[in-house]
Amino acid sequence: MTFTVETKKPAEYPCEALLVGVYEGEKGAGGLSKEAQTLDKILGGTLSRALSAEEFKGKPGTATAFHTQGRIPAQAAVVVGLGKKDKLTLPVLRMASAAGMAKARALGAKKVAVALMDEAVRGAGAGDKAQVIVEGGLLGTYRFLKYKSEKDKKAIEEVVLLLTKPAERGKAQAGTAKGEIIGEAVNFARDLVSEPAASLTPTLLAEEARKVAREAGLKIKVMEKAEVEKLGMGAFLGVSLGSDQPPKFIVLSYEPERGGARRKIALVGKGLTFDSGGISLKPAGGMETMKCDMAGSAAVLATMRALGKLKPRVSVLGLVAATENMPSGRATKPGDVVRAMNGKTIEVVNTDAEGRLTLADALCYAVKEKVDEAIDIATLTGACVVALGKVQMGVFANDEGLRRRVMDAAKRAGEGAWHLPLNEDLKEAMKSDIADMKNTGKAGEAGATMGGLFLQEFVGSTPWVHLDIAGPAFIDRETPLSPKGATGVGVRTFLYYLMGI
C-alpha cells in the first residue's frame, strides 16, 4: 500500500473509491462536508438523498459506499462518518479513514483517493491530518493471512491524499511518511502477536529483535540463560524452568544521532511467548489465546523499529525477558521461593502469576541502567479485563507527571487508557510467611492493582508507569481500527509519547 499526496480536485480524480466525509446530527445535505457537497451537486443530489434514506448517521467509525454511475471518474464514493462537526478531532479522523479504507478494500478497490484533508480539526495542521489518515488506512485494512491458503485478492495498492491547497503539500507529505512508519509498526506488532507460539518461541522472538536492530540501526544484546543467571534474575529464570525452550533476555537500544538525548527511557515488554499457567495450569477453554501473552514485548519491538526511522531526541532501551510458562517435572512449583535481581525473595504461590516475575527482573535491569523513566507494558491480569473490558488499558504509576504525559499520548494516539490506583494498604495481602513477598494477593480482590503493587517493588525511586493491556491486546470483535485478534496496542501510545519529547 503506497501513499502519495496530489493537488487535484476530488470530482475529477480517477480512482475506484473516493473517501468523503459526512457530519453527524444534521439532516440531509446539511451534514455533508464541503467536499461531499461539491460531489453531491455533481451527482445530482444522489448522496444527500441516499444518506437520508439510508439513515447513515455520520457516526465516527462508520462508512457506506455509493456507485457514482459514471458521473465522476471515481467509481464509488465511500462516505465516512466524522461525528459532530465542531468536535472533529484527529482520533476521529483516524477512525473515519480506517472505516472508509476498509469499505474501499471490501469493494475491491485498488486505487483509493481521500478527500478529507480540508476538514477543519482544531489545533491540527495538514501534517497531523495526513498522518492520522495514513495510520487509519494501514490499521483499518490489516489482515493476518500468513496461514491462509487463499491469498488476499482484496488489497488496496495505492492511496492518494487529495489536497486543494498546494501550500500544504510539504507538510502533508511529511505527515504521510510519519503515518506510514507508525501504521506499519502497529501492524508489525500485530503480526508478532498473531504468530502461534510454536513459531514464535523466545529464541525466534530474539531473532525478530535482531532483525529489528539490523533494519532500524539499533544496538542489540541477547543474553542467554547463563548470563541471566549471573545477573541474579532468579524470578525470571524460575518462570522459564518448566519449558524446553531456552529463555532470552533481549536488550535493544536506540540512541539519537549526534548525542542530544534529553532523557533515557526504558520500555519493558512482557514477553511470555506462551502462558499455559505452568503447574497452576489454566483451564483449556480459550487457552489458545495465550499466545498473545507476548503482546507487551511485541509493542516494545515494534516501537523500537519505528524509532530508528522517526529519530526522536531521546535514548530508549527496549527490554524483554522472553520465556514460555509451561508445566513439567522441572517447573517451578507453588510454594517455591525465587530471588529477584534486587535481592528480594518471592514465594511463588501461583505459577500463573508469572508475568510480574519476569517483569520484576527486567525492571531491576532498567533501574541498574539508570534510566530516567521506565514504562512497562504487559498482558498482566485477567482482573484488569474484568475492570475495564477490552477497550482500555489500565494505567498505574508512581509518578503523576509521567502518568499524565503517557496518558496524554494515549489520547492523541487514539488508544483507550484508564488510571487505576496503587493503594498501598492492599500490599498487606502479598505478605509471605517465609519470603519477602508472595506473587499474588487474595483471589478476587483488586487483582490488577496487586500486579501493579508487586511491580512497584522493583522500580525503586525511578519514575515508572505500568500499562496492563490484558484486555485490549487481543480482541474477539473487530473495531474500526483493528480486526479480531491482535491489536498492536501500546505502539501508538509509545510512539506519540516519544515523538513529543
Total residues belonging to the chain: 501
Asked if 440 is part of the footprint of ligand BES (rule: CB under 6 A), the reply reads: yes
Alpha carbon 496 to chain centroid, angstroms: 11
**356, 403, 412, 492: which one is catalytic?**
356
Binder among 350, 390, 404, 432 for ligand BES (CB under 6 A) = 350
Cα(15)–Cα(10) distance, integer angstroms: 10
Which string of x and - marks every residue 274-293 that binds Zn ion (by CB under 5 A)?
A: -x-----------------x
> Cell numbers of 69, please?
454511475
Asked if 376 is part of the footprint of Zn ion (rule: CB under 5 A), the reply reads: no
Asked if 352 is part of the footprint of Zn ion (rule: CB under 5 A), the reply reads: yes
Site size with ligand BES, rule: CB under 6 A: 16
Task: Verify whether residue 263 is a known catalytic residue.
Answer: no
Burial class (CB in 10 A: 0-12, 13-18, 19+), 260: exposed
Residue 381 contact, options ligand BES, Zn ion, none, Cβ 5-8 Å cut-off depending on partner type: ligand BES
Asked if 58 is part of the footprint of ligand BES (rule: CB under 6 A), the reply reads: no
Q: Are the C-beta atoms of 494 and 375 separated by less than 8 Å?
A: yes
CA atoms within 13 A on the CB side of 382: 14
Residue 385 contact, options Zn ion, ligand BES, none, Cβ 5-8 Å cut-off depending on partner type: ligand BES
Binder among 275, 361, 373, 376 for ligand BES (CB under 6 A) = 275
Amino acid letter for position 303:
T
Burial class (CB in 10 A: 0-12, 13-18, 19+), 279: buried
Report how far apart, in Å, the C-alpha atoms of 321 and of each of 17, 39, 122, 347 are. Answer: 45, 54, 42, 20
Task: Verify whether residue 225 is a known catalytic residue.
Answer: no
Smallest separation (angstroms) from Zn ion to the CB of 479: 23
Smallest separation (angstroms) from Zn ion to the CB of 227: 24
Cα(356)–Cα(323) distance, integer angstroms: 13
Q: Which is nearer to ligand BES, 23 or 474 (CB)?
A: 474
Which string of x and - marks every residue 353-392 that binds ligand BES (by CB under 6 A)?
A: xxx-----------------------xxxxx-x-------
Cα(205)–Cα(431) distance, integer angstroms: 35
Q: Are the C-beta atoms of 73 and 14 separated by less than 8 Å?
A: yes
Q: Which residues are catalytic?
A: 282, 356
The site for ligand BES (CB under 6 A) is made up of 275, 293, 350, 352-355, 379-383, 385, 440, 447, 470
The site for Zn ion (CB under 5 A) is made up of 272, 275, 293, 352, 354-355
